[in-house]
Amino acid sequence: MPATPPAPAGAGSTLQALTDWVAEVAALTRPDAIHWCDGSDAENAALVARMEADGTLVRLNEQTHPHSWLHRSHPDDVARVEHLTLVCTPQREDAGPNNHWLAPAEAHAKIDALFDGCMRGRTMYVIPYCMGPIDSPLSRCGVEITDSPYVVANMRIMTRMGAPALARIEREGRFVKGLHSIGELDPERRFIMHFPEELTIKSYGSGYGGNALLGKKCHALRIASYQARREGWLAEHMLILGLETPRGETHYIAAAFPSACGKTNLAMLIPPEGYREAGWKIWTIGDDICWMRPGADGRLYAINPEAGFFGVAPGTSRKSNPNALATIQSHTIFTNVGVTADNQPWWEGIDNGQQPVVDWRGQPYDPAVRPAAHPNSRFTVSARRCPSYSDQAEAPQGVPISAIVFGGRRATLVPLVFEARDWTHGVLVGAAMGSETTAAATGQVGVLRRDPMAMKPFCGYNFADYFAHWLSFDQPGAQLPKVFHVNWFRKGADGKFLWPGFGDNLRVLEWMIRRVQGTAGAVETPIGALPRPGEIDLEGVALTPEAQEALFGFDREGWCREFGSLAEYLAEYGPRIPEALRAEQQRIAAQLQE
List pLDDT tens digits, range 434-472: 887 655 565 666 667 899 999 999 999 999 999 999 999
- The reply to whether 502 sits in an annotated binding site is yes
List, as one string, the DSSP characters of 80-94. Answer: B-GGGEEE--SSHHH
The one catalytic residue among 261, 290, 386, 459: 261
- The reply to whether 264 sits in an annotated binding site is yes
> What is the rounded distance in angstroms from the CA atom of residue 437 to the CA atom of residue 421?
28
- The reply to whether 532 sits in an annotated binding site is no
* Total residue length of the chain: 594
User: Residue type for 306, please?
Assistant: E
Nearest to 175, CA basis, from 129, 221, 220, 216: 129
- The reply to whether 503 sits in an annotated binding site is yes
- The reply to whether 237 sits in an annotated binding site is yes
- The reply to whether 154 sits in an annotated binding site is no
> What is the rounded distance in angstroms from the CA atom of residue 130 to the CA atom of residue 574?
37
- The reply to whether 377 sits in an annotated binding site is yes
Active site residue 261: yes
Nearest to 372, CA basis, from 398, 354, 393: 354
- The reply to whether 474 sits in an annotated binding site is no
- Residue 284 near residue 386, CB atoms below 8 Å: yes
Domains of the chain, residue spans: 8-57+80-232, 235-305+390-593, 309-385
- The reply to whether 576 sits in an annotated binding site is no
> What is the number of alpha carbons within 13 Å of residue 73 lying toward its C-beta?
31
Phi, psi at 217, each rounded to 5°: -65, -40
- Residue 178 near residue 18, CB atoms below 8 Å: no
Alpha helices (runs of H) in 272-312, residue ranges in sequence order: 273-278
- The reply to whether 288 sits in an annotated binding site is yes
CATH class of the domain at 8-57+80-232: alpha beta
CATH class of the domain at 309-385: mainly beta
Nearest to 294, CA basis, from 285, 284, 302: 302
- The reply to whether 365 sits in an annotated binding site is no
- The reply to whether 260 sits in an annotated binding site is yes
Report CA-CA distances (Å) from 546 to 345, 511, 529, 534, 550: 40, 22, 20, 16, 6
For every one of its 594 residues, what pLDDT tens digit does the chain have, with 9 covering 90 and above?
344 556 566 669 999 999 999 999 999 999 999 999 999 999 999 999 999 999 999 999 999 999 999 999 999 999 888 899 999 999 999 999 999 999 999 999 999 999 999 999 999 999 999 999 999 999 999 999 999 999 999 999 999 999 999 999 999 999 999 999 999 999 999 999 999 999 999 999 999 998 999 999 999 999 999 999 999 999 999 999 999 999 999 999 999 998 778 899 999 999 999 999 999 999 999 999 999 999 999 999 999 999 999 999 999 999 999 999 999 999 999 999 999 999 999 999 999 999 999 999 999 999 999 999 999 999 999 999 999 999 999 999 999 999 999 999 999 999 999 999 999 999 999 999 988 765 556 566 666 789 999 999 999 999 999 999 999 999 999 999 999 999 999 999 999 999 999 999 999 999 999 999 999 999 999 999 999 999 999 999 999 999 999 999 999 999 999 999 999 999 999 999 999 999 999 999 999 998
> What is the rounded distance in angstroms from the CA atom of residue 309 to the CA atom of residue 312?
9
- The reply to whether 209 sits in an annotated binding site is yes
Phi, psi at 31, each rounded to 5°: -70, 165
Q: Does the structural domain 235-305+390-593 have CATH classification 3.90.228.20? A: yes
> What is the rounded distance in angstroms from the CA atom of residue 106 to the CA atom of residue 258?
31
- The reply to whether 80 sits in an annotated binding site is yes
Question: What pTM value is reported for the model?
Answer: 0.95
The CA-based dihedral angle spanning residues 509, 511, 517, 520, taken in that order and rounded to the nearest 10 degrees: 180
Beta-bridge partner residues of 240: 254, 286
Phi, psi at 125, each rounded to 5°: -100, 135
Output the pLDDT for position 2: 42
- The reply to whether 343 sits in an annotated binding site is no
- The reply to whether 262 sits in an annotated binding site is yes
Q: In sequence order, what are the residues at sequence separation of 6 or more whose Cβ sits closer than 8 angstroms to the Cβ of residue 493?
A: none
Residue 46: CB atoms within 10 A of its CB come to 13
